[in-house]
Structure 1
Amino acid sequence: MRDTPRPEGTLGDIGPRPPQLRPGRALAHTTGASGSGSPHRSDSRPPQTPRGARPSDPDGRLGTTPPVPGRPTSLFLFLGLPALLFALITWQVEADGPLVRVDERASRALIRPDGVSEFLADLGNVQVAVPVLAAVLLHVARRARLTGTDRWWLPATAAAVLMALVPALVVPLKELTDRPGTSAVPPGTGYYPSGHTATAAVAYGAATLLLLPWLRSAYARRELVIACVVVNAAVGLGLIRRGYHWPLDVVASWCLGAVLLVSLWLFLSRSSRRTSAGTPSRRTGPS
């Protein structure tokens, strides 16, 4: 009886050969297999490697694979950087450093007293800025209470406390630095930092932070932020052109206001997260 050669790959072939992929088998561990997405796993999960394809934390919290632009970087830019700049300016003013010489030359070139500069500077008066903030506080607190928001009083109270901190911080700094004014004001000291600039920055800035969550349109939110920046820039320009303050007085107060407003924003954000994680609110959104 003649032996006929059998084809390779049959059950009777037990010779030592590399394993062969059969066309009828599911290729669960091959790249691009259905339900795989990974050359190392048969499920949809990423490989368990130190640098696997894990999505980065959007907040950039510690523990994500660097570099991730997140919360520590944002805190430094919006909180740490203004604080460092404020400390640098205060040191230069107190020590009568070279930055003060540049500031004085810039002030002499920028002083142009007129009615427009007077009007812009007046926007930083307590009699103007604080009533604007008070009206926003009442409006936001009323809307939050009517919509059943938990701790509806907290944002308005926090903003009011922040506004009260402005003179508590500015007045001691004025006495500490004892800086004289420009040639456009009567002789005297205590012009650093600018109280008008700090008042405007915190009053209009806090009002903006409180109103933003109640605006549904992204366009409206953007326009409100732009208006806040423009108003504060106009106040600083008016104070400098009128000669009420040196440019460094205004810049330092902007830095101080930025630190206070970022602190308020962090506090409100944390309070909002705690409220949403606790008892569900009856609030359904602004009308």
Structure 2
Amino acid sequence: MAADRRVVAVVLPLGFAALTALVAVRFGPLLRLDTALSDAALRFARSHHVWRAVMSAITHSADQRVLLPALLLAVAFAVWRRDRAGVVFLLAAAATATVLRLTVLTLVHRPRPPERLTAAAGWAFPSGHTTSATIAAGILVVLLWPLLPSGRARAVLAAVAGLWAGLVGISRVALAAHWPTDVLGGWLLAGSVLTVLGIVLRPRPRDSVRPQPSGSPPGGDGP
């Protein structure tokens, strides 16, 4: 499992770096694919009003006015549980993702799609809503994981959190607020931050600590 995490911690940042380079140099085939997908999404949303309304509701669930209070609530919850590792992880994840995203955003300075179905401003790559939603989903899983009683409940938590983050990204393309690769970049960036910090900070669930054999000193042979 630890080896798998290390592989992911290498693959995701490399994928993000490669995608960033292609976007930065305005790689022709990638731009044409982005344009074709964005135009198709725009036409579909304009002709399907229920779809547009659903996508709008989902996209606004990841607005800063929603996620910032949620982050403060998560900090308060972790502090109340005296989960210092969780506090450090969630603050580090939120701060690191924000700094990296804004840095890349400024360096790449990619324009957004010209016709948009929701309010959006600033440069496009990587998607802020997508990055923030994915970071929030990861934080939610880390904080609630040790509180759930079974593997099935934890699988449901991870699936629901991942589905929401995925739908937020889809909504940004559906409403023509971002190009598809902006959203892919947001997923890769957030996944990179969550995976690397998960390895470095190791916010282990409390119930994952192996019981000590009788007579062993506390922490004597921990992983």
Both proteins in one fold, TM over 0.5: yes
Q: Which amino acid aligns with 2:197?
A: L
The answer to whether the Cα contact below 8 Å between 1:180 and 1:188 also exists between their aligned partners in 2 is no
The structural deviation recorded for 1:154 is 2.6
The answer to whether the Cα contact below 8 Å between 1:106 and 1:247 also exists between their aligned partners in 2 is yes
The answer to whether the Cα contact below 8 Å between 2:110 and 2:123 also exists between their aligned partners in 1 is yes
Q: Which amino acid aligns with 1:212?
A: W
Q: What is the match of residue 155 of structure 1?
A: 86
Q: What is the match of residue 78 of structure 2?
A: 140
5+ long unaligned stretches in structure 2: 47-51
> What is the Cα-based RMSD across aligned positions, in Å?
2.7
Q: Which amino acid aligns with 1:126?
A: Q
1:226 aligns with 2:183: no
Determine the C-alpha separation between the residues in 2 that align with 1:128 and 1:187: 16
Greater helix proportion? 2
Compute the TM-score of the two structures, normalised by the length of structure 1.
0.63
Q: What is the match of residue 49 of structure 2?
A: none
The structural deviation recorded for 1:74 is 4.0
Q: Which amino acid aligns with 1:142?
A: W
Higher relative contact order (CA 8 A, sep 6+): 2
Moved more, 214-223 or 229-238: 214-223
Determine the C-alpha separation between the residues in 2 that align with 1:228 and 1:187: 24
The secondary structure found in structure 1 opposite 2:202 is helix
The structural deviation recorded for 1:182 is 0.7
Residues 52-96 of structure 1, C-alpha deviations (whole Å, 9 max, x = no match): xxxxxxx6xxxxxxxxxx71x5422x2222112111211111111
The structural deviation recorded for 1:164 is 1.7
| Aligned-residue identity in percent | 26
The structural deviation recorded for 1:279 is 7.7
State the aligned residue count: 203
Q: What is the match of residue 107 of structure 1?
A: 38
Q: What is the match of residue 203 of structure 1?
A: 136
Q: What is the match of residue 113 of structure 2?
A: 182
The answer to whether the Cα contact below 8 Å between 2:93 and 2:193 also exists between their aligned partners in 1 is yes
The answer to whether the Cα contact below 8 Å between 1:137 and 1:207 also exists between their aligned partners in 2 is no
Residues 25-77 of structure 1, C-alpha deviations (whole Å, 9 max, x = no match): xxxxxxxxxxxxxxxxxxxxxxxxxxxxxxxxxx6xxxxxxxxxx71x5422x
1:238 aligns with 2:168: no
The answer to whether the Cα contact below 8 Å between 1:133 and 1:204 also exists between their aligned partners in 2 is no
Q: What is the match of residue 25 of structure 2?
A: 95
Determine the C-alpha separation between the residues in 2 that align with 1:162 and 1:260: 6
The answer to whether the Cα contact below 8 Å between 1:182 and 1:243 also exists between their aligned partners in 2 is yes
The structural deviation recorded for 1:268 is 4.3
Taking a change above 3 Å as real, the CA distance of residues 261 and 90 of structure 1, as seen in their structure-2 partners, is same
1:36-185 to 2 correspondence within 5 Å? 71=3, 73-76=4-7, 78-97=8-27, 98-111=29-42, 112=45, 114-143=52-81, 145=82, 152-185=83-116
Q: What is the match of residue 193 of structure 1?
A: 126
The structural deviation recorded for 1:189 is 5.3
Residues 227-261 of structure 1, C-alpha deviations (whole Å, 9 max, x = no match): 11110011011111111111100000100000111
The structural deviation recorded for 1:167 is 2.2
For residue 193 of structure 2, the aligned residue among 260, 272, 278 is 260
The answer to whether the Cα contact below 8 Å between 1:180 and 1:187 also exists between their aligned partners in 2 is no
The answer to whether the Cα contact below 8 Å between 1:92 and 1:100 also exists between their aligned partners in 2 is no
The secondary structure found in structure 2 opposite 1:181 is coil
